[in-house]
Structure 1
Amino acid sequence: MLHKLFLNKNFFLLWTGQMVSQIGDKFYGIALAWWILQQTNSPVIMGLFMAVSVLPGLAFGVFAGVFIDRWNRKILIIASDMLRGICVIVIAFLSVIDILELWHIFAAAILISLASAFFDPTVKAVIPQIVEQEQLPRANALSEIIDASSMIIGPVLGAAFVSFFGFTLVFLINGLSYLISAFFEGFITIPPQVDSPSADYTLRHEIETGIRYLLSRRKLVVTIGVIGIAHIFVGALIVSLPFLAKALSGDSIQTLGNLEMMIGFGMLLGALSIQLRGKSHFKDKNLFVFIAAMGIFYLAIAITKSITSTFVLPYMLLLLLIGAAIANASVYWQSILQLNTSSDMAGRVFSISSVVGNISLPISYGLFGILLKYTSILRLMLFSGSALLFISIVLMYFYHYGDKESQDNSLI
């Protein structure tokens, strides 16, 4: 029964480790944000910390892909989790002896970001090695369930633990969660890489090889383009939510929490729907259908805003649907990349996709944050919804054209 639900032992061990560490991550994130707020009361320091938590991984992401394709992936996963766990446990220890300072937090954030630049793409590259191809959508849906569940319960439990037990215990829980994750990963069996480095192996050569590989495959290029575009417009929604909550009835902070929670619930339901379908036929073009659906729901938010400005329920329903569309789109793009990338190139492809996704969000936050100074939420949602619909149709055409082109080339 366990194997039927979690596909096989190896994936179950990987999934369990991810679940433990991601919930611990949410604990750590909310505790750190509150600690920095108490120590500095500075939005500039908070913003700088958020940048430091992301930028090192972005800067090193493409390079990490080469090592993921050439080194033992099991060791990389375990080492990344152990490094992250040790960093956070050191933070907990410094907190216990009451010498924890801001620079300690920043140094740990840099190391954790670098470790994550290896861990996240490696996990995505490993899944096709331990799961049958026809089970990839279900495997990715199970991973998406982790993201959604940790988004729903992590911040709530993390805030409660900080309130009752203080920062140190929450730091310790997160550090131990990484080490527990590494423990589970130690029992995973991952097939060895069959490809060996070329004679003229250099970092630059391997990066160039990966980029040429990616650019020669239209499906991969279009799919990564979808990732960037989806993140940009998800960012537009996230930036708009506090302003939307403020305009709605009731306490704006509580309303904001409810709206964000509905996105998490939607993601959970969307991932569960894919997982429960089992071995149903995988139609990769559904990726564009779900991106278009996001556009329609954005337009529905704009229409709802023009009709009513105080009733919360319609917005909660629409955000639930948006969350479900996001989860489905995420599962599809991961599965498409896994199915269309050779194992010896998966690290580079997923590293590039991670960089594209991670860099799109901060750009979106800045861009749409500025736009909201000069326009309304209604107009922003109209623009975002229309853009998503148009772009999904255009990218579907290019994706389909690439599919036909590859079929024509195979006949030559």
Structure 2
Amino acid sequence: MVFSVLRLRNFRNFFLSEIISGFGVGMSTIGANWFLLDQTNSTKLIGLMLSLNVIAGFLVAPLIGILTDKFNRKVIILWTYLVQSIILIGITSLLSISGFKIEYVYLFAVVNGMGWTTYISTSRSLVQEILSDQDYINGNSLVEISLQVGMFMAGAASGVIYKYFGFDFILIFNATAFIFSSIFLSKVKYNSITIDNKEESYRESFKNGVRYLADRPKIFFLGVVAIIPLASTMMFNVVLPGYVSDTVGGDSIVFGLSDMFYGIGGLLSGFIAAPVAKKISNNSTVILFFWISIGILLSFAFNSYVLVLFLGSVLFGLSNSSLRIVMNTTLMETVSKSFMGRAMSVWMAISLIIQAIASPVLGLLIDKFSPGVGFIALIGLMIIGFIIYFIVIRGVKQNQNTKYVRTG
């Protein structure tokens, strides 16, 4: 049963920490998108903001991967939350004193990008440390549930809070959420893995991490497939504001509710992905949810109704989150714990490159044509992920058949 791992006190505290931080991050991310659209009426600038977000994450990814494999992963997360809280309070003060300046929103995007990259690399590596192998699928399901519960609550509340209290309040709320999240995370007690590479230079440690993946192309490409649903979700946030405003004719509340329904789908994935994978196999589950995701994006491209947007957001959240659960479990079962941080940083860097290139292009296309074009581009990305996965598993099956023939 999915909730069986909550009997473990360490994972229970980690789970609560994830919900709180996810709520804060979700509130500020949704709020920043709508705040910038409100102030500038430009989807192109939202794309640029996301580009700064991902470029900042890309630049710190190699360092974060090395630190994750060299030092205590929980401590890294705690320091990240503390620094983000201080900077968010500083940005709020600047907005209160001098009013809207686009540089302040871009500073938020840079800090958010660095924090998100650190979170992905360290939190997934920490889950791998505090759980046993047989609990990975349930643990990943609950991690996704915690993230989506936070995002779900943020989506439900952010539009209303932004409309009546403003973006300043949302930033302070995010800073406070990080502090409370840190309290629960600090209660996680575990024996950290033995670090064998503490004496290595940072350069040598990075080279060894890259070499680890280069010697294992199957693992590398599985990791690439795993980050494509994440990249498509981030890019979905570039398309969504203009889509809600222009195509569906909604406001900040409709925008927030769309994110809320995506969160509901992500929440459902925590209950559905593991049982489906056990019933029809991991490979069939990945293929199934790739096609569901592609179908939903296609329906968005030709839709102009709010109800279809809400229903589609549920299914899109369900499919993308299920893909992440199954793929992250596969990676945790396959990648050595001592290399997990560096491996995740490489995959995050690739995801960020995709987003950095695609986000401004999406913004320009949407401003010139329509948000529907943005969804067509996302379909192309998901199809690429499906093709890579199909090639990898086909190669694995061929190798297994060859070995069977030789030994038979």
1:347 aligned partner: 341
Percent identity, please.
Answer: 19
Residues 45 and 363, structure 2, Cα contact 8 Å, conserved in 1:
no
User: Greater relative contact order (Cα 8 A, min sep 6): structure 1 or 2?
Assistant: 2
- Counterpart amino acid of 2:343? V
Deviations 1:53-100 (A, max 9, x none): 33112112022101110012121111111111121123344556x356
RMSD value, Cα? 4.1
User: Do structure 1's residue 393 and structure 2's residue 390 form an aligned pair?
Assistant: yes
2-side partners of 1:383 and 1:115: how far apart?
Answer: 28
Corresponding residue for residue 161 of structure 1? 161
Alignment of 1:32-181 (within 5 A): 32-33=32-33, 35-36=35-36, 46-94=46-94, 98-99=97-98, 102=101, 103-107=103-107, 109-181=109-181
User: 2:219 — aligned with what?
Assistant: 220
- With the length of structure 2 as denominator, give the TM-score of the two structures: 0.80
Alignment correspondent of 1:290: 288
314-323 vs 120-129, greater mean Cα deviation: 314-323
Q: Which residue of 1 aligns with 2:299?
A: 301
Change in 2 beyond 3 A, CA 1:170/1:339: same
Deviates more, 1:322-331 or 1:3-12: 3-12
Following the alignment from structure 2 to structure 1, what is the Cα–Cα distance between the partners of residues 26 and 44?
Answer: 22
What TM-score comes out, normalization by structure 1 length? 0.79
Structure 2 counterparts to residues 270-281 of structure 1, below 5 A: 270-274=269-273, 277=275
Displacement of 1:359 in angstroms is: 2.8
Counterpart CA distance in 1 for 2:306 and 2:34 is: 28
CA distance, structure 1, for counterparts of residue 90 and residue 273 of structure 2:
40
User: Comparing 310-319 with 161-170, which one deviates more in the overlay?
Assistant: 310-319
Aligned pair count reads 400
Q: Is the 8 A contact 1:227 1:356 kept in 2?
A: no
In structure 2, do the counterparts of structure 1 residues 291 and 236 end up closer, same or farther at CA, with 3 Å as the change threshold?
Answer: farther
- Give, as a single letter, the amino acid of the residue that structure 1 aligns with 2:286: F
- Is residue 360 from structure 1 mapped to residue 354 from structure 2 by the alignment? yes
- Hey, what's the Cα distance between the residues in 2 that align with 1:62 and 1:51? 18
Supply the distance in 2 between the matched residues of 1:355 and 1:325 (Cα, whole angstroms): 23
Query: 1:256–1:21: structure 2 CA closer, same or farther, 3 Å change rule?
Result: closer
CA distance in 1, matches of 2:279, 2:292: 22
Q: CA deviation at 1:182?
A: 1.2
Q: Distance in 2 between matches of 1:264 and 1:185?
A: 23
Shift in Å at residue 230 of structure 1?
A: 3.9
User: What stretches of structure 1 of length at least 5 have no aligned partner?
Assistant: none
Per the TM alignment, residue 217 of structure 1 is displaced from its structure 2 partner at its CA by: 2.0
Cα distance, 1:23 vs. partner?
0.8
How far does residue 282 in structure 1 lie from its aligned partner after superposition?
9.5
Kindly indicate whether residue 330 of structure 2 is the aligned counterpart of residue 336 of structure 1. Answer: yes
Pair 1:340–1:182, CA change in 2 (3 A): same
Q: CA deviation at 1:47?
A: 4.5
Distance in 1, Cα, partners of 2:292 & 2:276: 24
Q: Does the Cα contact within 8 Å between 2:70 and 2:198 map onto a contact in 1?
A: no
Once the two structures are overlaid, the 10-residue window that deviates more, 50-59 or 171-180, is: 50-59
Cα distance in 1 for residues equivalent to 2:163 and 2:309: 30
Q: 1:158 to 1:346 in 2, by over 3 A?
A: same
